[in-house]
Amino acid sequence: MFLAQLKMTLREKQAWFWGIFFPVILMVIFMTIFGGNSDDEFSAKVAIVDENPNPTSDMLLSQIKQIPVLKMEANGPVSRNKAEGMVKDQEIDAAIVLPESTEATSILLVLNKEDEQGVTAQALSGMLNDFVQRANLSAAGATPTFNLQFESITSADQELNYTDFLLTGMIALSIAQAGMFGMVDLVDMNRKGLIKRLRMTPANMNIFGFSDMVMRLLFSIVQIILLSFIGVFVFGAKLYINFPSLLVVFILGALSFNALGYFFSSFSKTTEAYMGIANIVSFLMMFLSGIFIPVEAIPDWIQPLSNVLPLTYFVEGLRDSMVYSTSIFSSSLWIGIGILVIWGIVMFILGSLLYKRKSIVATR
């Protein structure tokens, strides 16, 4: 049955595109968008507005110039109109308007409305607020006693970056989507009556479904190898793989999502219905399973949903085994694997029961 499933799939030329090349295209797009310059040192382009120079504005300007992450777009202060135009055209990240008189106490930060909630805008707001607090202390003649220093550490053995984090998430997403979307051929076979005819033979439907799942596993093997090479050699990701852990997580995770696709096919009457269900589930898990950002960064009220989705544990398992080099004897790794296996077994059993029920109804 496995060889038969493989031959049927290879005869479909589009299977190679959707099974192999589409995940590559998807990963390249997302890695380009989200992985871009994440590893570069943070900097922000700003323009300074100082239309009425005075001792206060001169003092603030000299201190602002000492902030290394602020890159002045112009050689010196510009007019308010020019600065606002540069912000509107997104030539700069923000404009800083200095006090117009010695008695004035306000420093204005001008941001683009579309980027107001962006990371750069939030960082600039925080830095300028800290700058104002220090300026107030200086004006009051007080010397700051404490200061905040920043250091980042990782739970891995090596220094990691966001590209490594995103790569493993995209690999997990691609394998999960291949499983959920890959069983659409069973819907077409059922619609044409081929499943009903197969039931009239000595063939075991459970073995038939499982053979299709194992065949899909081959595509997942090609995917994880190809995507890893692209991530490492094109986007500069660094992988620290624990091969025993990766092998277990990969095989059980891929089979679990194949079982999920098998379940979708068991009650879908048309390929359109199947694709609609698979798209909804895939879209939901794409943004709630820690692919682009950690689950802990998701709002608290929605985290319980994230914690029951199978992709969450598949992403964590791949990330642990490919990035953090987690040992196969880790208890946290096996908890996630256990949840994945439960999802796979339940989905496969439900799908088999639905196929069996439909075949019995059809014979009646």
CATH number at residue 98: 3.40.190.10
Task: State the pLDDT at residue 116.
Answer: 64
Residues in the chain: 364
Task: State the pLDDT at residue 74.
Answer: 64
Same structural domain for residues 245 and 334? yes
Task: State the pLDDT at residue 295.
Answer: 85
Same structural domain for residues 205 and 327? yes
Residue in the structure block whose two tokens are 């300074």: 48
| Token code pair at residue 20 | 């192999």
Residue in the structure block whose two tokens are 């090596």: 158
CB burial class (10 A; 0-12, 13-18, 19+) of residue 152? exposed
Whether residue 150 lies inside any domain: the answer is no
Which of 107, 139, 171 is the last residue in one of the domains? 139
Task: State the pLDDT at residue 163.
Answer: 83
**Residue 75 domain boundaries:** 44-139
Same structural domain for residues 257 and 323? yes
Same structural domain for residues 255 and 311? yes
Whether residue 146 lies inside any domain: the answer is no
Which strands sit side by side in the sheet containing 94-97, from one edge to the other?
A: 70-72, 44-49, 94-97, 108-111
Q: Which residues of the chain carry a pLDDT beneath 50? A: 38-39, 146, 148-150, 152-153, 363-364
Instruction: List the one residue out of 345, 352, 349 whose CA is nearest residue 252.
Output: 345
Task: State the pLDDT at residue 243.
Answer: 92
List of residues 6+ apart from 275 with CB closer than 8 A: 181, 184
Task: State the pLDDT at residue 114.
Answer: 66
Cβ pair 319, 163 in contact under 8 A: no
Structurally, the chain folds into a number of domains equal to: 2
Same structural domain for residues 225 and 350? yes
Interior/surface letters 220-244, b for 16+ CB within 10 angstroms, e for the rest: beebbebbbebbeeebebebeebee
pTM recorded for the entire structure = 0.68
Whether residue 356 lies inside any domain: the answer is yes
